[in-house]
Structure 1
């Protein structure tokens, strides 16, 4: 019998998100939910069903909202980290060959219910893959439920009875009596599953229970009688529709051939290395977390990954090269003369560490002609290794060439190589092109820009992998132990392929003057600037952090003691199981948020939802906040202080976000909290050395100013030109007040609208943020657009441009391609439209601060002994300078930052000075 598997996609995503820790890939993108979904799909597809569908909710209202306006009114907005994983999830599902279904006006449950009954009637063996208890009402011959997280199944009345105490045909009545706090369907007060099952066991149906309500004694009988008017509506709300008009039946949902190339790119992007291995080996779907590969040489930039090759690749580009090992002074001098005569060459470093501040140079490679290259070994120290040129002698010979700005150098993720050479006494000049950045500017939306991926994509070339020469896992050796012959083939290939890639990518950039300008005037000049910022590092007061850790520990202990008093007994605050029993069983607090298994959740969202009903949840949240600050910052940052410099050195990534925003890792200094006193205390540990101060310069409301520039809305432009409080001015417009009459709440609402519109905030999101009804929030948005029609027109014209061109641009010409802007899937299309509106603002802000960094760094060139640029965080630059130089630096830095772009409204830069980062901010 053919099988039909109906996957409850929304359930999958939420269950995976709450069940797994907050995982991220190498670029800092959240992957926890994605990881869980891939594993659950792996289990679902293992048996190769003939027909399958991944069903998700369509955006917008459903018929249930029309019946009951407060339906799901209390449901929390999707967390940002989860929202970021929705589009990648859909991409993976599609690449796996699974149809994705969304239907307006109904929920995913209704689509699944309709297809399930149609499939059973058509003789298919139907499996509903879900953890949602509501689906138990559909169990019957030919329809079963499978919970892929627990492995449990329900395929008969007996199985449903064992779990819920009622038959499948009584589940709807059970749910109507119990209600559903998550969907905001109020049931009979104090009527839990046992009471509801008892009544249905005794009377049979909801109608019979209602008819016998007068005879049910006690408080629960009173509650039942009070609920009688709403129980029929409850039954309608919890009943899964099985007659939804659908464009196709179950047999139109055949499992398609998977797109292995797209799937491979996605698995590589999100670090699912085991899934990738199984895919390449033909073993099917699967995923495990990627492990960091210790000791990998950084010449390839990021971890190796391959994207789909571009069609019509010239076969000549994929030819294997011939490479030379440089072992004598004469050979090296000959290559130096050759490279100087060429005027341009690709180079790469091989090292023994991923940390550029600690990496030891093992060798250098060069290429000036495709298919030719050389490797200069300098630090191979395995037993029996051939004699190599002394490093100091070799670098002395190379220094004039590497320091000559007239000889152009090419690299792939060359910032790392600049670090390594500087630490070995060579200041490299003339770094002219970077193939990672060429690829990124051409299309920031492709999954990876590492050398191996680009070689496959643009050259059709399969590179030698690091594991091929160094092994992997526990048996992997450092590059200094790799045989020199093998090292030559691997390292010289790096330089050769980098040169070949440049010869393919550079003409593509030159063919588009706007993109060429972004690359030449923003990205490439920024490379040495970022290298200097990273090398400068920031001084961190380890003793202050230890004091903060001790204080946080004391306050955690106090919170534990307070929690014990409130509970009336001892319990483990870190145990979800104990918290669940205490909060919901003993104290009887409502379970507003459920786990994927249907149990009351104790996560932050769940505790916030009930914090106004009892003091204990608030104390637990306080304890968790303190614990996170200690583990993430005050305990960890001292361990990251470089032993040589005594400073913390982050790494900035130019190709980390499609919009052009910089990201940072090891440590991520862009996520240090600022909105709480405890978070700001962390910044107090970032200090200036004796005789110096910190200067923090921050763009004021930069993205909103960019919105005013792009929309040309007269009201918004006027507010900025006048120097008025733009949120107060907006409130005055929206609410028909004078600026002096605007209340604090009205300003707060205007601020939420101003910023929310740029990020696609819905009326529901605004309502939740402001604590008002959705209707009122929708009225606010409508009134806003009536007062600022230019903003509305800009948003619509941007969507239209995106639909026509497939991309949007920043003020400076940076381009963001929107793959799903014309998708037939409403969810994908809506996500792409939100990105289309936000990207020009966020991307332009990224361009502006990058331009500012280049300008300020240029001015600092003559003052490096007196001042350093040490941090870039969002829209802020942080400097360290001599006390007697701080005023001049402040004047110049704010002027240069304000002049980084010419907009229709002024760019305003706020600046502060202090002995630590918090004082300066």
Structure 2
């Protein structure tokens, strides 16, 4: 995954200035802060991120000064010796190839926040390099904070809670309560981080604290009540904006080649001897001895030290450096083939020229038969002076009988990628028996990331050679085919070696827990080739249909823009929440019925829906936004990712993503295709069948509610499902004590919110917010629900207790979700773990069921005539097929019983099916 590093320039500069003694060069120019910044930048660039930006404050006032003229009023002017180092700092940053960003009217924090969220949404891994605690509000999957000076890292909700006592979403409220003396934001007197965190743990948010201020006793309560009116402003001042209009997006911040001559001059001027020495050393070109050697030993940095091995109880054989061989002739290849045939199992890995398995070209193959012994077979290294290599087709022909032998056990790491690559080069790999990524994921989904580098360090104490170590990063990156064979062997052979080592360590751990072993052996491993086939099948996209939809959406958006201007009496930016908010609530004086978590008037979909009956403009804005999202996210983008070789879109499924076992997908993310509106459903019209074929969609009906009924054994729920009744209407009838036919739409809506909300551990507070009712009324609804469905209440309590006693919960099939925070002292963190504990058995069981169905259906499809039917998509609880028209009835007759028979539940599984020429018609 590409990485963006966002450097908080002001934080770097001030930290370095205050942390280091006054330093000067030979000319007497101050260099202390500059020296610290340069060292931190060099440490950052050693990680070779693809994108980097150095963000500093622009001169002049910001919008916060307009909100609060006393903002930062107490901050002293910058010392002269620090100001003198600003321009040299910028000169060095520019020479290092890093973009410098300044935006008038906002602070550097807001620029960083905007870029961080935009990059994370674009699939870029974000590191914010800063020492400023305010940035903790940005932490989420894909966004981490790193303090280069201290080495600390905040990369998860757990890490933020451990440091601050609150979740990232509560950091703003924590800061609003504490205040910030540096920025002259006055908080609650005597309220420090522990008190603020305690209040937020009890009352969830700043709004909750304000609403319960009368209940807080003592002097601190008096202090809180004295500043209640000021707290919403505090919250606005400390909130990092994430919607700043910027001239450049994350992908326009690529790390440029550094200006070596400029750096040499600057380092020499300011006396940075080590930086200059490293710069001169980097210019040397090492000798390429790849043609003279065929054996490579793992580097000293690439294995665990004896002390680490002993401390972790790691078998030394799994942590020692490996002996790796480069295979350059037919005799050595045949010798390795014989070794693999004789071994009970072997690990393998492929090296390619692309991350897209549907387009990657094979560069080489590595294999390992025992820990510490591996080989790399280069097939397409084409740099100048590269040694002669075996012909790729001939080498694969020699490997094919072994790789296609179902009786020979193969081990991989994220092997689905390798299955694709080999298939595209004429090798149908069979006998895929183990996957170290999946072994780790099933053993403990939340203990670690499941990439090879992370697992090697965690379980083996072994530091692997990284791809960037041999191929570089960013503008200086080279294709793997250009990597010298010594380096390529050390990297590629190690991958196969470490894969086998991880398997040898993790397999006994799984075997010790039979339920986990069954999930791994019966669900996850058999699913790998199934998903590979689905991905390879792909789905045809009707580009003409997408263009028609884009044109239609554009025309309608323009008409809505004109209509909105007429209704408002002036032009405004419909895409700007700030302008929309000012227009609706300040100029038109419409009531702000929905507030943001920060207490401000909201202009989200729910908020605009709430006032759409009071003025025509909110409805127009809603329609415009919906069309704009469809156009930018789908109709303009889908056609761009069509594979030119197949004419189809090939999504990628991820087994080791969600801890509950749910499949995720990317390129495109199928889980986000909208289905609630007619315009959203039209997107699925572009997912079409080939001429003469039909699309068939089969969807589990209310599967998680049925699993809840099964797990809770509640008689009322089981009876409702057995009768085939509308479960939400039946629930409303029970809760509100009336006949089913007398249930009102609002009562059914409330019952539906309870049914689904309880599966996610929703509190009365959450239900009240969802339904727009008082907390007391919501609590009454929940009490009524539990009185009618006592089995559900007992199930939830049993599940919480199991989580507290064991530290994990299980699905029907034995998959575990470990909950590290189930015994946390922090109430908010503990409540989050309890919510996850209740939801995981249902969501995880649903994931297991559809995976079991996919395996069974795939096995049946393999017995049918080629091309009669193929599974092409899995989305949420739905399977989608492309089927020859005359085979549809046969498919339905076979698929439905396999889906309903994937689990034996007390509440029967029901599958709804439809057919059509496109995905939309099949619903």
- TM-score, normalised by the number of residues in structure 1: 0.71
8 Å CA contact retained: 2:448, 2:455: no
Whether 1:91 aligns to 2:158 is yes
8 Å CA contact retained: 2:161, 2:829: no
Whether 1:879 aligns to 2:856 is no
Whether 1:764 aligns to 2:757 is no
Deviation at 1:42, TM superposition (A): 2.3
Secondary structure of the 1:894 match is: helix
Root-mean-square deviation (CA), in Å? 4.0
Whether 1:243 aligns to 2:332 is no
Q: What does residue 100 of structure 1 align with?
A: 165
Structure-2 change in CA distance of 1:45 and 1:184 (3 Å) = closer
Q: How far does the alpha carbon of each residue in 1:621-667 deviate from its partner, in whole angstroms, 9 at most, with x for none?
A: 22121111001000000001100100000000001100000000011
Structure-2 change in CA distance of 1:23 and 1:710 (3 Å) = farther
Alignment of 1:535-546 (within 5 A): 535-546=536-547
Matched residues in 1 for 2:332 and 2:355: separation? Answer: 29
The gaps in structure 2 that reach 5 residues or longer are 1-17, 19-106, 146-153, 194-205, 224-250, 256-301
Secondary structure of the 1:868 match is: strand
- Quick one: which of 864, 867, 871 aligns to 1:865? 867
Q: What does residue 721 of structure 1 align with?
A: 722
8 Å CA contact retained: 1:127, 1:143: no
Deviation at 1:585, TM superposition (A): 4.6
Q: What does residue 622 of structure 1 align with?
A: 623
Q: What does residue 813 of structure 1 align with?
A: 814
Whether 1:711 aligns to 2:706 is no
Structure-2 change in CA distance of 1:28 and 1:705 (3 Å) = farther
Q: How far does the alpha carbon of each residue in 1:772-827 deviate from its partner, in whole angstroms, 9 at most, with x for none?
A: 33222211110110111111001001100110000000000000000000111111
Q: What does residue 357 of structure 2 align with?
A: 356
Q: What does residue 390 of structure 2 align with?
A: 389
Alignment of 1:578-617 (within 5 A): 578-589=579-590, 604=605, 607-608=608-609, 610-617=611-618
Q: How far does the alpha carbon of each residue in 1:719-752 deviate from its partner, in whole angstroms, 9 at most, with x for none?
A: 1122222222222222222333333332222222
Secondary structure of the 1:689 match is: coil
8 Å CA contact retained: 1:361, 1:420: yes
Matched residues in 2 for 1:816 and 1:914: separation? Answer: 39
Matched residues in 1 for 2:574 and 2:431: separation? Answer: 57
Q: What does residue 895 of structure 2 align with?
A: 893
Q: What does residue 381 of structure 2 align with?
A: 380
Structure-2 change in CA distance of 1:824 and 1:88 (3 Å) = farther
Alignment of 1:215-234 (within 5 A): none
Whether 1:510 aligns to 2:503 is no
Secondary structure of the 1:752 match is: helix
8 Å CA contact retained: 1:350, 1:364: yes
8 Å CA contact retained: 2:732, 2:747: yes
Secondary structure of the 2:464 match is: coil
Matched residues in 2 for 1:906 and 1:351: separation? Answer: 47
Deviation at 1:495, TM superposition (A): 0.4
Deviation at 1:565, TM superposition (A): 0.5
Matched residues in 2 for 1:363 and 1:644: separation? Answer: 22
Q: What does residue 680 of structure 2 align with?
A: 679
Structure-2 change in CA distance of 1:793 and 1:237 (3 Å) = closer
Deviation at 1:534, TM superposition (A): 0.2
Matched residues in 2 for 1:694 and 1:786: separation? Answer: 44
Deviation at 1:341, TM superposition (A): 1.1
Deviation at 1:183, TM superposition (A): 5.4
Q: What does residue 330 of structure 1 align with?
A: 331
Q: How far does the alpha carbon of each residue in 1:847-878 deviate from its partner, in whole angstroms, 9 at most, with x for none?
A: 00000000000000022421000000000000
Q: Which moved more, 1:763-772 or 1:718-727?
A: 763-772
Q: What does residue 398 of structure 1 align with?
A: 399
Secondary structure of the 2:131 match is: helix
Secondary structure of the 1:862 match is: coil
Matched residues in 2 for 1:711 and 1:399: separation? Answer: 51
Q: How far does the alpha carbon of each residue in 1:204-247 deviate from its partner, in whole angstroms, 9 at most, with x for none?
A: xxxxxxxxxxxxxxxxxxxxxxxxxxxxx99987999842599x
Structure-2 change in CA distance of 1:419 and 1:914 (3 Å) = same
8 Å CA contact retained: 2:134, 2:172: no
8 Å CA contact retained: 2:811, 2:841: yes
Deviation at 1:93, TM superposition (A): 2.5
Q: How far does the alpha carbon of each residue in 1:474-529 deviate from its partner, in whole angstroms, 9 at most, with x for none?
A: 10101000011111111011101111111100011111111000000000000000
Matched residues in 1 for 2:131 and 2:597: separation? Answer: 18
Deviation at 1:462, TM superposition (A): 0.7
Secondary structure of the 2:220 match is: coil
8 Å CA contact retained: 1:111, 1:242: no
Q: What does residue 658 of structure 2 align with?
A: 657
8 Å CA contact retained: 1:593, 1:605: yes
Q: What does residue 841 of structure 2 align with?
A: 840
Q: Which moved more, 1:846-855 or 1:588-597?
A: 588-597
Q: What does residue 132 of structure 2 align with?
A: 43
8 Å CA contact retained: 2:871, 2:882: yes
Matched residues in 2 for 1:235 and 1:888: separation? Answer: 63
Q: How far does the alpha carbon of each residue in 1:12-32 deviate from its partner, in whole angstroms, 9 at most, with x for none?
A: 9x9999967755759979x99
Q: How far does the alpha carbon of each residue in 1:125-146 deviate from its partner, in whole angstroms, 9 at most, with x for none?
A: x945889x7x46759xx999xx
8 Å CA contact retained: 2:448, 2:454: no
Matched residues in 1 for 2:747 and 2:913: separation? Answer: 28
Matched residues in 2 for 1:235 and 1:528: separation? Answer: 56
Aligned residues: 715
Matched residues in 2 for 1:492 and 1:19: separation? Answer: 41
Matched residues in 2 for 1:129 and 1:711: separation? Answer: 54
8 Å CA contact retained: 1:537, 1:648: yes
Q: How far does the alpha carbon of each residue in 1:425-472 deviate from its partner, in whole angstroms, 9 at most, with x for none?
A: 110000000000000000011231011111111111111111111112
Q: What does residue 702 of structure 1 align with?
A: 703
Matched residues in 2 for 1:360 and 1:685: separation? Answer: 29
Matched residues in 2 for 1:94 and 1:739: separation? Answer: 46
Q: What does residue 736 of structure 1 align with?
A: 737
Structure-2 change in CA distance of 1:740 and 1:28 (3 Å) = farther
Matched residues in 2 for 1:730 and 1:597: separation? Answer: 34
- TM-score, normalised by the number of residues in structure 2: 0.71
Q: Which moved more, 1:381-390 or 1:719-728?
A: 719-728
8 Å CA contact retained: 2:160, 2:166: no
Matched residues in 1 for 2:321 and 2:171: separation? Answer: 55
Q: How far does the alpha carbon of each residue in 1:599-636 deviate from its partner, in whole angstroms, 9 at most, with x for none?
A: 87655565455544432233222212111100100000
Structure-2 change in CA distance of 1:824 and 1:747 (3 Å) = same
Structure-2 change in CA distance of 1:891 and 1:684 (3 Å) = same
Matched residues in 2 for 1:681 and 1:237: separation? Answer: 52
Structure-2 change in CA distance of 1:903 and 1:28 (3 Å) = farther
Q: What does residue 643 of structure 2 align with?
A: 642
Matched residues in 2 for 1:398 and 1:577: separation? Answer: 62
Q: What does residue 62 of structure 1 align with?
A: none
Structure-2 change in CA distance of 1:238 and 1:442 (3 Å) = closer
Q: How far does the alpha carbon of each residue in 1:410-432 deviate from its partner, in whole angstroms, 9 at most, with x for none?
A: 00000000000000011000000
Matched residues in 2 for 1:839 and 1:831: separation? Answer: 12
Structure-2 change in CA distance of 1:820 and 1:790 (3 Å) = same
8 Å CA contact retained: 2:120, 2:143: no
Matched residues in 1 for 2:354 and 2:882: separation? Answer: 29
Whether 1:781 aligns to 2:782 is yes
Matched residues in 1 for 2:847 and 2:572: separation? Answer: 48
Q: What does residue 229 of structure 1 align with?
A: none
Q: What does residue 215 of structure 1 align with?
A: none
Structure-2 change in CA distance of 1:791 and 1:601 (3 Å) = closer
Secondary structure of the 1:856 match is: helix
Structure-2 change in CA distance of 1:367 and 1:101 (3 Å) = closer
8 Å CA contact retained: 1:110, 1:244: no
Q: What does residue 561 of structure 2 align with?
A: 560
Q: What does residue 805 of structure 2 align with?
A: 804
Structure-2 change in CA distance of 1:435 and 1:549 (3 Å) = same
8 Å CA contact retained: 2:527, 2:851: yes
Deviation at 1:317, TM superposition (A): 2.0
Structure-2 change in CA distance of 1:137 and 1:807 (3 Å) = closer
Q: What does residue 548 of structure 2 align with?
A: 547
Matched residues in 1 for 2:442 and 2:487: separation? Answer: 33
